[in-house]
Amino acid sequence: MGLVVQKYGGSSVADAEGIKRVAKRIVDAKRNGHQVVVVVSAMGDTTDELIDLAEQVSPIPAGREFDMLLTAGERISMALLAMAIKNLGHEAQSFTGSQAGVITDSVHNKARIIDVTPGRIRTALDEGNIAIVAGFQGVSQDKKDITTLGRGGSDTTAVALAAALDAEVCEIYTDVDGVFTADPRVVKKARKIDWISFEDMLELASSGSKVLLHRCVEYARRYNIPIHVRSSFSGLRGTWVSNEPHAEQGARKVEQAIISGVAHDTSEAKITVVGVPDKPGEAAAIFRAIADNEINLDMVVQNVSAASTGLTDISFTLPKTEGRKAIDALEKTKSAIGFESLRYDDQIAKISLVGAGMKTNPGVTASFFEALSDAGVNIELISTSEIRISVVTRADDVKEAVRAVHTAFGLDSDSAEAVVYGGTGR
Amino acid sequence: MGLVVQKYGGSSVADAEGIKRVAKRIVDAKRNGHQVVVVVSAMGDTTDELIDLAEQVSPIPAGREFDMLLTAGERISMALLAMAIKNLGHEAQSFTGSQAGVITDSVHNKARIIDVTPGRIRTALDEGNIAIVAGFQGVSQDKKDITTLGRGGSDTTAVALAAALDAEVCEIYTDVDGVFTADPRVVKKARKIDWISFEDMLELASSGSKVLLHRCVEYARRYNIPIHVRSSFSGLRGTWVSNEPHAEQGARKVEQAIISGVAHDTSEAKITVVGVPDKPGEAAAIFRAIADNEINLDMVVQNVSAASTGLTDISFTLPKTEGRKAIDALEKTKSAIGFESLRYDDQIAKISLVGAGMKTNPGVTASFFEALSDAGVNIELISTSEIRISVVTRADDVKEAVRAVHTAFGLDSDSAEAVVYGGTGR
């Protein structure tokens, strides 16, 4: 029996009862002979309450102090969890990100882990303790200031510790049973995935699946740490994310599905730059203006220019929250670049089909478009990668589109067989 | 203009409004040309709420984890305070006890400061920042664990930092205007003291005055750091505590009062060990039993033994919270020591008269007893030091006793002159 890293989110430790329930689960793992390291988030709404307090005293987002404030949340939950475990007769010690050796860069509010030196954790484990570690936080290498890792940071803490401690598995406990073939709130017949590759999980995460964040999966892939996503409420086996499916991970490779799942995302907006002169450097100037404002783009599409005008349209999607900033940045460059106008549209949805199997299965793209067409859903933009196809549709169409694609690719839970693809390539 | 350490208690930063008010006051000190270090407690009831959560998950007082939990409180208030200051256009950085270099022993929940190495604070000040430091907490020298300093610990943090940084003054901001000649809730005519010596303040603190704790004053005396106790609400000059009254401290030495004030304390109980054999070693055995249980005694009185029986009674006072433990400890030694019985009485009060002037003013004790006698208050125990007389009375009599003594010694605020003492010594 080796070392297990378990991560519990805020909803799992929302109150004293939740903390006691989680403590029992941790003690079970210890009783089964594992060394156990637990990464915990702040209790329930704690972080939101702290943000609210910060807004009351200052509208200025003060990076260093904001991080100092937010990290109080995990300090509370981890100490309470350690107490609850001791109350069950087991030894536990809690550690801040800094004490656990989570070393980051100095970018407050969204720091990146640059090293993990878990000497104190290792010592605590060797002395028979369960180690409880604050998620979401670290300490900056140069200034020794407290930093936070940004959204979903606790998952990243867990995977990073699992890598540094050479853990058997990183268990991510959450309030759902695992990763599904589509959002179960939209697709009633969505199926829990038993096993999924890092690559497919990365694409799902990029495409709107919220169970695991891209960054955490990327870290796990780099260090080859199997992730087991499961419910802290049910105790059922969840979804394994790893390089290769092992027998105990619920699937053999031959059974690997062609398609892993359908993701959707309604958090993006679409900007179209209309009437751009079709000359070298014009597109570059547009994207330089966007990049200089640190705005991350998602899909980018340039239509063929109309020969008669020498003008083209460039469309891209980006988070709605960045929309205002992008429009402002582009307006400032309008005369320099010489485009005609900007169109902003935040009533869009992105639907993505993900699966490594599609690389070798021609016709997936055609089947995807046919399913959408049959459902009467219009396609506005298309973007593809080796293992993903994404389209942009009207936001109103998103549920129908996801259900149609889910059914068409045999992902519905009462469907035993995957559809057979024919045709002439994607 | 030199360096000032300011300390704000939980009631001063109870909500966003309080934090903003305190921020203005801090910025004023900075604008006046001072380097400013601020020590802050947890907001309002935060600590009580955290203790309540701890009790919900575990009845076991887990020292290390309990300290980790409680220190979240200051982390929140200090970060918010730093944000509020930055919002006023000044630079501020917050520091945990550990970051501020507050090094303690490893006694969780009541650690003692053994060193202060404020290198980061000094750097922050030199870079033009206001430094905000978490009160009440430190880091243990040997294990590098988070510790807390126990009740009133933030005042001690402030004085210790003032000493380490060679501050001009340590300002303790609170919700009253300063140190009074008696508790203003009991004595309406109680007068704010402009200046008081360390020694008198130590005696007042030992005798039930709650404005400053003994430990904080002791630290200030050892390093000769003047303390200015004042209101965070009124901004008025409060009470200076120092070795020598300076002109700006509102009093010249010739004006120094004979009596500094009257303190009272209803938090103690009295235990009487009845029928102790009057032989060498008997009293020692009793107090060894108490000491082995780490119970702190206050007053100790042994009556003259009755010659006919060879038995004596020994009485002492101690915190009510320790009463049960002391009785249990003594019961266990009953047969070994051979006393007759124990009496426990928690309906007592202690009234103390404090003033360095009484050393050279005969008759103070007599006047004290006369005042109590005139008020019809019976005295049960007496204990004296060079600059203090304390008596134990019935708890019911405490208010009347304090008022009578306050008036008799000319401390009432409408009384211009101190009484003249005659008689033949104390």
Residue B420 has pLDDT above 90, yes or no: no
The 3-state DSSP class for residue B6 equals strand
Q: What is the enclosing helix (H) or strand (E) of A67?
A: helix A63-70
Q: How confident is the model at residue B257 (pLDDT cuts 50, 70, 90)?
A: low
Complex ipTM tops 0.85 = no
Contact B73, A90 (CB under 8 A): no
Among the listed residues B12, B141, B143, B162, the one whose alpha carbon sits nearest the alpha carbon of residue B78: B12
Residues A87, B57: C-beta atoms closer than 8 Å: yes
Cα atoms found within 13 Å of the Cα of residue B420, Cβ hemisphere only: 1
Enclosing H/E stretch for A220:
helix A214-223
Subunit contact B58:A83, Cβ cutoff 8 A: yes
Q: What is the pLDDT of residue A100?
A: 96
Nearest CA in chain B to A22: B57
User: Buried b vs exposed e over B331-370: b needs ≥16 C-beta within 10 Å?
Assistant: eebeeebebeeeeebeebbbbbbbbbbbeebebbbebbbe
Query: Is the pLDDT score of A208 beyond 80?
Result: yes
Residues of B in contact with A80 (CB under 8 A): 53-54, 57, 65, 69
Alpha-carbon distance values, A192 to A179, A297, A391, A399 (Å): 6, 30, 24, 19
At residue B196, does pLDDT exceed 60?
A: yes
Average of per-residue pLDDT across A305-333: 85
Q: What pLDDT, on the 0 to 100 scale, is given for residue A418? A: 39
Question: What is the mean pLDDT of the segment spanning B216-232?
Answer: 93
Average predicted confidence (pLDDT) for chain B: 88
- Distance set, CA A317 to CA A42, A265, A295, A305, A350 (Å): 32, 11, 11, 20, 9
Confidence band, pLDDT 50/70/90 cuts, at residue B422: very low
d(CA B76, CA B70): 11
A366: pLDDT confidence band, cut at 50, 70 and 90?
confident
Share of chain B above pLDDT 90, in %: 62
Domains and CATH numbers, chain A: 3-256 (3.40.1160.10)
Strands A348-354, A388-394: pairing kind: antiparallel
Nearest residue, CB atoms, B75 vs list A54, A60, A68: A68
Per-residue confidence (pLDDT) for residue B232, from 0 to 100? 87
Taking the Cβ of residue B123 and every Cβ of chain A, the question of whether any pair is shorter than 8 Å is answered with: no
Nearest to A26, CA basis, from A88, A111, A101: A88
- Decide if B352 contacts B389 (C-beta within 8 A): yes
- Using the beta-carbon criterion (under 8 Å), do B80 and A64 form an inter-chain contact? no
Cα–Cα distance, B159 to B149 (Å, whole number): 13
pLDDT at A248 over 70: no
CA pair distance A362, A365, nearest whole angstrom = 8
pLDDT at A206: 85
> What count of other Cβ atoms lies within 10 Å of the Cβ of residue B426?
17
The rounded percent of chain B whose pLDDT value lies above 70 is: 92
pLDDT higher than 70, residue B139 = yes
- DSSP category for residue A26: H
- Between A59 and A99, whose confidence is greater? A99
What is the number of H-type helices and E-type strands within chain A? 13, 20
Is A83 in contact with B72 (Cβ distance < 8 A)?
no
Q: Kindly tell me if the per-residue pLDDT of A310 is higher than 60.
A: yes
Closest approach of B238 to chain A, Cα-based (Å): 28
Of A208 and A114, which is predicted with more confidence?
Answer: A114
Looking up tokens 């298309």 gives: A382
Say how far residue A336 (Cα) sits from the centre of its chain. Answer: 37
Weakest mean pLDDT among A225-229, A386-390, B128-132, B389-393: A386-390
Q: Is A7 annotated as a binding residue?
A: yes
Q: What distance in Å separates the CA atoms of residue A28 and residue A374, rounded to the nearest whole number?
A: 50
Residue B421 pLDDT = 40
DSSP state of B42: -
| Region of residue A425 (phi > 0: left; psi between -120 and 50: alpha; otherwise: beta) | left
| Dihedral (Cα; A116, A120, A122, A126), 10-degree rounding | 180
Least confident of A9-23, A283-297, B265-279: A283-297
The per-residue pLDDT for B415 is: 44
Contact B83 A59 (CB under 8 A): no
Which chain B residue is nearest to residue A63, measuring alpha carbons? B83
B82 contacts A68? CB cut-off 8 A: yes
Q: Is B10 annotated as a binding residue?
A: yes
Nearest one of B46, B3, B230, B233 to B135, comparing CA atoms: B46
pLDDT at A249 over 70: no
Q: Return d(Cα B216, Cα B37) in angstroms, integer.
A: 17
How many Å apart are CA B398 and CA B186, to the nearest integer? 9
pLDDT of residue A134: 96
Residue showing tokens 């000040």: B125
Percent of all residues in chain A with a pLDDT value above 90, rounded to a whole number: 61
Distance of CA B147 to the CA centre of its chain: 20
Q: Which pLDDT tens digit goes with each residue over B104-118?
A: 999 999 899 999 999
pLDDT of residue B426: 37
Cβ of residue B72 closer than 8 Å to a chain A Cβ: yes
What does the pLDDT average to over B214-232?
93
Tokens at B118, concatenated: 């404020």
Q: What is the pLDDT of residues B28-48, one digit of tens each?
A: 999 999 999 999 999 998 989
Q: Is there a binding annotation on residue A211?
A: yes
| Binary contact (B79, A93; C-beta < 8 A) | no
Q: Which residue of B has its CA nearest to A24?
A: B57
